[in-house]
Amino acid sequence: MREFGYRRAHDVSGAVALLDGDPDARFLGGGTNLVDLMKTGVERPALLVDVRELPLDRVEPAAGGGLRIGATVTNSDLAAHPEVRRRYPALAQAVLAGASGQLRNMATVGGNLLQRTRCGYFADVHSPCNKRAPGTGCPAVTGEHHNHAVLGASGHCVATHPSDMGVALAAFDAVVSYETADGPGEVPLADFYLPVGETPHRETALPPGALITGVTLPPVPTAANSRYRKVRERASYAFAIGSVAAALDVRDGLVHDVRLAFGAVASRPWRARAAERVLTGAPANAENFAAAADAELAAARPLPHNGYKVTLMRNLVVAVLSELAEEAAR
């Protein structure tokens, strides 16, 4: 780890000014990902601007009936918040499925969205990696990739996004707001992560030097009947190999509204819009749930050792939607 400067910001505009668009500077939130990456040498910032004391630590009603979540709200506070648990239970479940109690106490909402892939080649600075060192290649394509992407990847990078929280946010049409030296801006989460293509090192649509200030959830009545299910290689404290955030509103046996997003299958939280289209208006039964999953997964391009993810995601979609349908029918 190289030596670096440290500044503590006390207001949003001050934080942006302290960073000053310096490409060698980073905002420091909970540090749970950045400090680790600094230890492994993946990140070598010259300056850290600590944003933990910014007044962005509230979960508040948003105009229009949604919820506004400040960027420095910790994962723990987000998951414990009564309005989140009542109106968007899948979001609380997704956050609780991530990391550990200790890490959730430290990690922030803004940092969670910006966390980097857990691909082992990315984390090992002596390995080639197009995301970390553009142009060096992607050893995962022919190497270890049993937990890599099956959707939306390219030959340049098959890494997945590790966030659980982001999967639920994607399902509920969250919008990310940020601040730059030129003023505030916002971008829907659906457009927040860039396509992989030939530029896997370019990950988000945030302008240079921008600070995430919060996430706004629109009112999604269906989200009150929602669930997050995560499959991983131990029962807790592990990243997903596949996850689903789902919300379902069934009226008279027909799907009135459905929200579906997948985790651990793509470079970003994957909103399953093709599946939602198949289901909307259709009878809420297992056959249609499976058909919807198939519609989404038709685009999957598995590698030799991660084809199981297609089966896994299909089964997860059917299982989670069936549970939600049964519970709603009770």
Partner 1 sequence: MTTATRGAVGTAHTRVEGRDKVTGAARYAGEIPFADLAHGWLVLSTVARGRVRSVDTEAVLAMPGVLTVLHHHNAPRVTTDYVGLLGVPPDPTVALFQDDRVAHMGWPVALVVAETSEQAREAAEALVVHYDREPHDVAFSAERDTEAYPADGHMPAVVEKGDLEAGLAASAVVVDERYTTPEEHHNPMEPHAATARWEGGRLEVVDSNQGTNWVAGELAGLFSLDPASVRVRSEHVGGGFGSKGVRAHQVAAVMAATVLQRPVRVVMTRRQMFSLAGYRSPTAQRVRLGADPDGRLRVLEHRSLNLTSAVYEFVEPSAAAGRSMYAADAHHTASRVVRLDVPSPTWMRAPGEAPGSFALESALDELAERLGIDPIELRVRNEPSVGPVSGLPFGSRNLIACFREGARRFGWAERDPRPGVRRDGRWLLGTGTAAGSFPTTAMPSTAAVTAEADGTFTVRINAADIGTGARTALTLVAADALEVSTDRVRVHIGDSDLGPAIIAGGSMGTRSWSWAVTAAADELRRSLVPGADIPPEGITARSNTAEAVGALAQKERHAFGAQFAEVAVDPATGEVRVRRMLGVFAAGRIVNPLTARNQLVGGMIWGLSMALHEEAVRDRSTGGLYGADLAGYHVAAHADVPPIEADWVDDPDPDDPVGIKGIGEVGIVGAAAAVANAVWHATGVRHRSLPIRPDRVLSAGGDA
Partner 2 sequence: MPPSTSSELTLSVNGEKYTLTVDHRTTLLDALRERLDLTGTKKGCDQGQCGACTVLVDGRRSVSCLQLAVAAEGREITTIEGVASGDRLHPVQQAFLDLDGFQCGYCTPGQICSAIAVIEEHAAGWPSAATGDVRPEAGPPALTPEEIRERMSGNLCRCGAYVSIVQAVARAAESEGAAA
Task: State the residues that interact with partner 1 by CB under 8 A.
Answer: 1-3, 40-41, 118, 120-121, 123-124, 126-127, 139, 142-144, 146, 231, 233-239, 241-242, 305-309, 311-312, 315-316, 318-319
101 binds, among partner 1, partner 2, none (CB under 5 to 8 A by kind): partner 2
17 binds, among partner 1, partner 2, none (CB under 5 to 8 A by kind): none
41 binds, among partner 1, partner 2, none (CB under 5 to 8 A by kind): partner 1
281: which 2 tokens?
């208006």
Q: Residue 196 in contact with residue 284, Cβ under 8 Å?
A: no
Torsion sign, CA atoms 182, 186, 192, 197: negative
Establish if 232 lies at the interface with partner 2 (CB under 8 A): no
Query: Least distance (Å) from partner 1 to the CB of residue 77?
Result: 23
Which ranges in the chain belong to alpha helices (H)?
12-19, 34-40, 75-80, 82-87, 89-96, 101-106, 109-114, 120-123, 165-171, 189-192, 273-279, 286-297, 308-329
Query: Least distance (Å) from partner 1 to the CB of residue 311?
Result: 5
3-state secondary structure of 63: coil
Residue 57: exposure state from Cβ atoms within 10 A (0-12, 13-18, ≥19): middle
Q: Rank residues 224 and 237 by Cβ distance to partner 1 and give the closer one.
A: 237
With tokens 């991983």, the residue in question is: 232
Q: Residue 222 in contact with residue 249, Cβ under 8 Å?
A: yes
Q: Rank residues 316 and 324 by Cβ distance to partner 1 and give the closer one.
A: 316
152: which 2 tokens?
């939306």
Establish if 291 lies at the interface with partner 2 (CB under 8 A): no
Q: Rank residues 21 and 253 by Cβ distance to partner 2 and give the closer one.
A: 21
Q: Rank residues 87 and 156 by Cβ distance to partner 2 and give the closer one.
A: 87
Among candidate residues 267, 91, 80, the one with its CA nearest the CA of residue 174: 91
- Return phi, psi of residue 112, to 5°: -60, -45
- Each residue 52-81 as x (binds partner 2 by CB under 8 A) or -, in order, gives x-----------------------x--xx-
- The strands making up 67-70's β-sheet, listed across from edge to edge, are 59-61, 67-70, 211-217, 175-180, 183-188
124 binds, among partner 1, partner 2, none (CB under 5 to 8 A by kind): partner 1
3-state secondary structure of 212: strand
Q: Which stretch binds partner 2 (CB under 8 A): 97-105, 128-136, 146-154, 297-305?
A: 97-105
Q: Residue 156 in contact with residue 134, Cβ under 8 Å?
A: no
Establish if 47 lies at the interface with partner 2 (CB under 8 A): yes
Q: Rank residues 81 and 309 by Cβ distance to partner 2 and give the closer one.
A: 81
Establish if 235 lies at the interface with partner 2 (CB under 8 A): yes
Establish if 319 lies at the interface with partner 2 (CB under 8 A): no
Contact set for partner 2, span 146-185 (CB under 8 A): none
Q: Residue 108 in contact with residue 86, Cβ under 8 Å?
A: no
Please provide the size of the chain in residues: 330
Binding site for partner 2 (CB under 8 A): 1, 3-8, 28, 30-32, 35-36, 39-40, 46-48, 50, 52, 76, 79-80, 82, 85-86, 89, 92-93, 96-97, 99-103, 105-106, 235-237
